[in-house]
Amino acid sequence: MPEKKEQLYEGKAKKVYATEDPNLVIVSYKDDATAFNGAKKGTIVGKGVVNNRMSNLLMEKLSEEGIPTHYVKELSERETLVKKVSIVPLEVIVRNIAAGSLAKRLGLAEGTPMKRTVLEYCYKCDALDDPMVNEYHILAMEYCTEQELKTIADMAIKINAFLVGYFASINVELVDFKLEFGKTSDGQIVLADEISPDTCRFWDATTHEKLDKDRFRRDMGGVEDAYKEMMKRVLG
């Protein structure tokens, strides 16, 4: 069992700790929930456990599909050993069905299927409220290289293709989701952060009931139950 050393970072939903190995860190998932860049705060009891276990299982499946990820080993209900990466400062958003900010921006009814998968990028910067950027901004600002951006986009499309099928098999529509990528000490781009009801929109495929963090963002109630339902479907 790797030893947890000093805390390196505390984010909105996770803490990161050093280990004795400079290439490995431990992430610890909290129950804290925020929305609208931290303007709305709350607690979703048990969320840390759901997100940790679900994200790990999905990363394991994705690595079997040939997608490199930061995941190394689940240590406990809330803690996971991952590769230490420098995070590419982009939120990569993948959309299959219009919802949220895309529905608003383009005047689409939520639930309108997109005729092709849509990729969007936001620059990760709390002070600027994570502004949307395009490929030209990313390269001009050197958030990553052209080759890295190509790798990231190709990986995002492959991840989506796999996840859409996987979630369909548990009667869930994968509406949209957010990915983050990191660079390991040897320069490899890997999938990082998490894949969970915090970072995805999940709709029940039959009833279209929301099974994700939108229940918290929109004060819909039933937040914990939605997370538990997704955990049950994913982990059995």
Instruction: Please give the residue ranges that form the binding site for ligand ASP (CB under 6 A).
Output: 12, 34-38, 213, 217
| Three-state SS letters, the chain | CCCCCCEEEECCCEEEEECCCCCEEEEEECCEEEECCCCEEEECCCHHHHHHHHHHHHHHHHHHCCCCECEEEECCCCEEEEECCEECCEEEEEEEECCHHHHHHHCCCCCCEEEEEEEEEEECCHHHCCCEECHHHHHHCCCCCHHHHHHHHHHHHHHHHHHHHHHHCCCEEEEEEEEEEEECCCCCEEEECCCCCCCEEEEECCCCCECCCHHHHCCCCCHHHHHHHHHHHHHC
Interacting span for ligand TMP (CB under 6 A) from 72-80, 110-118, 153-161, 172-180: 172-180
Interacting span for ligand TMP (CB under 6 A) from 67-75, 82-90, 159-167, 170-178: 170-178
Instruction: Identify which of residues 81 and 197 has a Cβ nearer to ligand TMP in the complex.
Output: 197
The distance of closest approach from Cβ of residue 99 to ligand TMP in the complex, given in angstroms and rounded to an integer, is 6
Instruction: Identify which of residues 44 and 234 has a Cβ nearer to ligand ASP in the complex.
Output: 44
34 binds, among ligand TMP, ligand ASP, none (CB under 5 to 8 A by kind): ligand ASP
188 binds, among ligand ASP, ligand TMP, none (CB under 5 to 8 A by kind): none
Q: Which of 75, 100, 164, 222 binds ligand TMP (CB under 6 A)?
A: 100
> Within 176-205, which residues bind ligand TMP (CB under 6 A)?
176-178, 199-201
Given the rule CB under 6 A, which residues bind ligand TMP? 93, 99-102, 176-178, 199-201
